[in-house]
Each structure stands twice: as structure tokens, then as C-alpha cells.
Structure 1
Amino acid sequence: MECHKLRRKNFFKEISSFWPDLYGEEYALYDIAEIEQQEVDKIRLCTFRIGKVLFKVCELLRELDEVILKDLGFPSETIKFIRLNTLLPESVIARLDLVAINNTYKCLEINSDTPTFIKELFHVNGLVAKEFGLANPNGSNEEQLAVAVRKAIQASAKWLNQVDPYVVFTSHDDNIEDKNTVLYLKELYGLPSKFIPLNKLIILPGEGLFDERGRKIDILYRQTFPIESLIQDEDTLGNKIGLWMLNLIETKKLAVVNPPSAFLLQNKAVLAVIWGLHENDNSFFNKEEHQWIEEYFLPTYFEADYFLDKGIPYVKKPVFGREGDSVRVFDGNGDLVLEEKHQSYDSVPSIYQQFVKLPSANFVSEKGIQNGHVLTGSFIVNGEPSALGYRIGSEITNNLSCFFPVGISMT
């Protein structure tokens, strides 16, 4: 394995601004999973259909009573924010987490507000595929992403009535994955802009967001800073600077990408709303959409009663959890069988979703040949299917799961 370790090191060191290791562990595998073109087409088709259903339900959610939105888990501070309807798609860059089962795919959730796994699939996957003599299933998607970023900023400028907007990309400065993801998007944007770390931004309530030199920022690209974290943000004096920023967006003194509707979709309660409408054969969805929901979505509820009555294993998920944080798996008797060690979203409202087992696969790592559970990530960019790929790790996919590149055989 020393030979493999050296080849891996030499390969990834040639990729600038990438993070092959995270948290002191191997992250990007120097290995590749072969995938058939037919399977790629199947993933893209289901991604398109799932995206249509999810984006459609945004129309309904925006019109719901404030009390209902709070019951769904939206913080009261965000209600005005999520009702905003900008000129952007519901989410510019979103990622579906899919599980392959019974010759189709089921949607576990959508990461619509601040998805990561971007540079890995849109850029690095192609380099690994070439290294292993396979075709890249995401070959044209990097340009698709670049166009989407530029269109999002153009639409934001139009929403603000700005001809020459000051565009700033931001992230936490000390998170290598977040920072390099944002810098990658900035590079794809390709037009004048700046990267400024979150801690260097200055908010003047009611006036605007400014850089460290006092220049007013018009458009903030905050790919990796979740809204549910933003509203908790305070400065050293205890000022609610996150809420100040939301107010700037609500009063059109600042535009953000992803847009407000992306946070609307980020709430996993949306999955329970969709399943409830489907189960009641609600006319909000047409016949074809109901067929899509039946095939691609999982039974999801606000209580566990359905699963307990039928003895079906289920998963309890916080509505705003990320990276597997606070996820718990129960058997059909309601007994806990598996939980993620991080429980930082434990106080957040939860949904209950039917449990499906992730498929397993072998992979080569610096520790030798290992076996892990495969989660399929599939991006929706400007409403269209885009790059796809695998993460592999434990039964609950978390921030220690590995990036497992995919390639299509050229024979």
C-alpha cells in the first residue's frame, strides 16, 4: 500500500486548491467506481423529476400562514426572508442525496442552500477519470456551472437595479473545504469580484454590508454559510448581526446567492409536506408528478406512528441538520439501532423517514481494500440535472465519508 499512498499523494498534489485529506483523514480516494452510461442517464432523469417536484412545492410553501411555517420548523426571524421571490431559480446550485434501490433511486434529501461536494464532482472527478482511463460523466457540467454562477449574479444585479454591482464571495477563512469551494466558484465566475472572509465583513444595520475598506457590497455569494447559522450570528458586543443581514436582503440593500428560496427547500419538513400531499392524492400535483413521488420519494412524516404501526424501520432527522449530524436510525419496534455521534441539532424539530439501506462497495484506500456504504450525489444547476458522483463511508453519511470518483468505461 506504500506504492498506492505515494501515487495518491503525487496525483492530488498536482491539483491546486484542493483538499484530498480532511480532519487528518483520507478524503479523496485514488480509486474510481465504474458506472454505465445507462445508469448516468437514469440518475439524471430522476434528478430532473425530483427537482420539478421540489421546486413546484416552493410555490405552495411561500403562501403558507406564518403559524404553519413556524410549525414546520422555520425560525420566526426567517419568515419574511423565505417569502422573497427573487429573479433567480429556487436554488442556483442544489445537490440531491440519492440511494440506489430496486433498479431506481430514492431521494433522501436536498441540500439546496449551501451544498458542498462541488469542486470534487465538477472538476476533480474528470481528472481522476482521465488518470484511470475512463470517460468523465460530468464532462460538460463545469461550463454549465460557470454559466449558472454568472447568470445568478446577473439576475441578482437586475433584482437590485444595479448596473455594475460589487460582488463578493465569502466563507469562513479557516475551513479549507469551504474556502476552496467558494474560490472555485469565484474562478468560474470569471468577472471582477473579491473574496472576503466572513469575519472581515462589516454590517451597518439598515444601511448595508461593507468590506474592510468601507466599500458597500451589492451581491454576496455565500455558498457555504447556512441561513440557520447566520441568524444566530452575533458580534463581540452581542449585536444580532445575522438578523441585520437578513433585513438588508429583505429591504433590497443586498442580494445573496443561493437565494432565499433555497433555504425554504433546505428544510426537510418539505419532504413530509410532499409525501402528505401525495398520500392524499392532492390535486396540487398532477398525475405524472404523483407517479414521480411514488417512485423517487420515501414515506416521510412528522411523527413516527406510521412506521411503528407497520413495524417498518425509520430514520429521525432534524429539519435543518447537515452531514448526518443528529440522525438516528430505529428498527420497526422503535428501538434505536444507530446514531451519528454528533448531536448538535438535537433541539431542532424532526421528520421521520422510512429507512433504506445504502448499497455497499469495495474501494481502495491508503489502508488497503475496504468496504463502505455508497451515497449518490446529484446536482441540480439552474433547475437542470448536472454533475453526479459518490460518497462512501459509514451507514450514516457524515463529514468523514470519502469522495469516490466515478467514470464510464470507454470500451
Structure 2
Amino acid sequence: TPCFLIESYYANGVAANYVGRKHPNIECRKELHTFLKRMYDAVLSAKYGRNQYESMRANRESLPKNPFVFSCFHDYFEDYGTTQFLMKELKTACPEADTRFISFYDMKIDDEGIPLEDGSHATLLYRLHPMELLIDEQTPDGEPLGEMFLDLYEDDTFALFNPPESIILQNKSFMSLVYALYLTDQFFTKPDRDIIEKYLAPSYFENDFSALDDGLYIQKEIWGREGRHVQVVQKRGDTSELYMEKLVDNYDDIVCRDSKKVMYQDFIQQKRFTHTVDCGVKDGFLTLSSFMLGDQASAVGCRFSPEEIAGTEAYFVPLLIE
């Protein structure tokens, strides 16, 4: 989840310093800077050619304007804070970078890409907006805005961070695909299989549900977010009944693509934790996650929810080292 960046890369360290403890993300902000620097160089190397770009840098020749644009809906506080944080981290990693913020409300496209106020065009765009929603969006006049946007990207008028390929991982049925390939015993190497067996809950496509053994399974929309429509079902033969459901108060505020398909995973009972929050002591459950910088695991983060299926009600929990 992109909106856990600040907690993982920044706030976890603030909490650790406050209580005088070490924390697991102590080097991760440097990793983020290294990754952003690598991304910045890769985009400009692709635009100018590696040799020409290296020559420009070596000769201290000023590069033409290459705006790295960061964008979200500016009136959505969490997205705005996350986007500003990432933009400032890029500026720290690459002081020479021309970084700019544009609200989605003000963004336009033309035949050359994403035009800016000074007449230049964006070289790269970071957008805090789901690709699976952007694809279907239209202009007020009914034009296919998402398709035109992706056509411009395909024509190399600008780079995207994250790229459209990341939609593969956004779809929860990707876990079903990985598990199905794991079961074939022919696709993954032995080390890969050991990792999948240890860390991935058995996951299934919707069409395979009828063939599964009786028991408890968790059902998720393949494009779901924030716990919306997550259910635990009890399978008995050819029928299933609801065992537990995530009830979301702000259902209409959750921005996600409507899912016509679901996927299933074995239901695994979690450990209970007791935690002190702003309104007292509560029992609940932890969700641990890790950011990936390309293919490199980086900062870890922890959320605590009084509910077994976590959603927007979850609390941020700093991770400290004993």
C-alpha cells in the first residue's frame, strides 16, 4: 500500500528515537534514496542514451528541462502527504532533479504528453491513483482519457513510476496463479518452491472453489481494497455459507475497481495481540508488510486492527528491536 510509506520509512524511526531504541528500518531511507537515484538515472539514460547522458553529467553540462512530476488529488490528505513525501525524497536523492507537483484536477494531456505551465512536458510521472481505475476513465466529453493516456505512455512521451506492468501484482488472483504454478512442480526452482510453501497461503481461482475440500476459506475481490467485501466462508460439499464478513463504514469512500471475480485462500487463524491505542487497551490482530524497491525487500511496517480483517480502522504500530 503506497500510503504506508511515511509510517514505514519515516515515522517508525521517529518513534524509535523517542523511546531510545533501534528499529529494523534504520538503513531503509538510504535504500529508498539509492533506488530513486537509480530510477532517475535510468529514465534519463533511456531518453538521451547512456553515453550522451553520462557525458552531460561528466562535463557538468546542464540538461534540458526534464520535469519529474508527482500527482494525486490534492484534497485527499493521505494521498497528498504521501506524494509530497516521495517527491521530497527524490529531491534529496537527486538535488539536480526538476521536481514538480500537479493536482489531478489540473492535469492535461496533448499530443506530446503531459503539458506543464512553462511550456515543457513531463519526463516522468508518479501518480498516486490505481492503474486499474485510470484505464477506464473518460473526459467530461466522453473521450477515453485512460486509453489516450496509456497510448502516450506507449509512444514514450513520458515515463511512469510505477509502470503499467505493476497492475499484474495489484490483481489478487496473481497469488492464485503463483500457487497453481507451484502445484505443477514444474515451473519454479526448489528454492522458489520453498519460499512459496512457507510464505504464501494456499490460493485458488474462483473456478477451482467447487473442487476444494470442505473447510474455511477467505474470499477476496480480485480488485478489492481496504477490506471491502472480504468474507470468510464455510464450504460444505457443493454449498458454502457466510462465516465472517468485513463490514466497512465508509464503503462509498473506498476507491477501487468493481470486481466481477473473486479468489480464495485457506483461512489461517491469526494470533491475538493486546495493544495500547489512543482510546485505551484493545485486543486485535497485526498485519505485517514489506515494501519492495524493484526486486529488493526494504522497509517493513506494522498495522494493528481490533478486527480480524483489517481495513481503514487499523492503527500504525512502530516496530522496535529488543
Range with greater deviation from structure 2 (287-296 or 342-351): 342-351
CA distance in 2, matches of 1:208, 1:346: 29
With 356-365 and 181-190 compared, the bigger mean Cα shift is at: 356-365
Change (3 A) 1:158 1:286: same
Match for residue 139 of structure 1? 26
Could you say which residue in structure 1 is the equivalent of 2:72? 171
Residue 44 of structure 2 is aligned to residue 157 of structure 1: yes
Which residue of structure 1 lines up, in the alignment, with residue 123 of structure 2?
A: 218
Deviates more, 1:172-181 or 1:295-304: 295-304
Q: For residue 307 of structure 1, report the CA deviation from its aligned partner.
A: 7.4
Give the alignment partner of residue 308 of structure 2, picking from 373, 392, 395: 395
Displacement over 6 Å in runs of 4+: none
**Aligned residue number for residue 408 of structure 1:** 321
Which of 109, 112, 117 is 1:207 aligned to? 112
**Contact 1:318–1:350 (8 Å) recurs in 2:** yes
CA contact (8 A) 1:317 1:327 kept: yes
Residue aligning to 1:310: 213
Distance 1:183 1:327 in 2: 31
**Aligned-partner SS, 1:127:** helix
TM-score, normalised to structure 2, is: 0.84
**1:47-62 equivalent positions in 2, closer than 5 A:** none
Residues of 1 paired with 2:153 and 2:25: CA distance? Answer: 34
Give CA-to-partner distance per residue, 1:257-278, whole Å, 9 cap, x none. 0122211222122111111111
Q: 1:336 aligns with which of 236, 242, 246?
A: 242
Per-residue CA distance 1:80-138 (angstroms, 9 max, x = gap) = xxxxxxxxxxxxxxxxxxxxxxxxxxxxxxx5xxx220010100101111212221111
* Cα distance in 2 between the residues matched to 1:307 and 1:140: 47
- What's 2:278 paired with? 366
Q: Aligned partners of 1:328, 1:308: CA distance in 2, in Å? A: 19
Largest Rg, 1 or 2: 2
Match of 2:98 among 182, 192, 209: 192
| 2:81 corresponds to which of 162, 170, 180 | 180
Checking the alignment, whether the CA contact within 8 Å between 1:326 and 1:346 is kept in structure 2 is no
1:116 aligns with 2:28: no
One-letter code of the match for 1:221?
Y
Amino acid at match of 1:203: I
Look up the match of 1:230: 134
Once the two structures are superposed, residues 334-356 of structure 1 have per-residue CA deviations (whole angstroms, 9 ceiling, x without a partner) of 21122233566554322111112
Question: Per-residue CA shift, 1:359-390, capped at 9, x if unaligned?
Answer: 22112122111112110011111311211121
Aligned letter for 1:266? Q
Structure 2 residue aligned with 1:379: 291
SS at match of 1:351: strand
Indicate the structure whose relative CO is greater, using CA pairs within 8 Å and at least 6 residues apart.
1
**1:322, 1:117 → 2: CA distance?**
14
CA drift of 1:147 comes to 1.6
Moved more, 233-242 or 340-349: 340-349
Please list every run of 5 or more consecutive structure 2 residues that lacks an aligned counterpart in the other structure: 54-62, 92-96
TM-superposed deviation, 1:149: 1.7
Unaligned runs of at least 5 residues, structure 1 = 1-110
Q: Within 5 A, what are the aligned runs for 1:266-345?
A: 266-282=170-186, 284-303=187-206, 309-333=212-236, 334-342=240-248
How many residues align? The count is 293
Give runs of aligned pairs for residues 73-84 of structure 1, distance below 5 A: none
Is 1:242 equivalent to 2:146 in the alignment? yes
Structure 1 pair 273–347 and aligned structure 2 pair: CA distance change class (3 A): closer
Name the CA distance, whole Å, in 2 between partners of 1:391 and 1:263: 24
1:70 maps to: none
Look up the SS of the partner of 1:236 in the other structure: coil
TM-score, normalised to structure 1, is: 0.67
Residue type of the alignment partner of 1:288 = P
RMSD in angstroms over aligned alpha carbons?
2.0
Q: 1:323 touches 1:397 (CA, 8 Å); kept in 2?
A: yes
**361-370 or 154-163, larger mean C-alpha shift:** 154-163
**Aligned-pair CA distance for 1:234:** 2.2
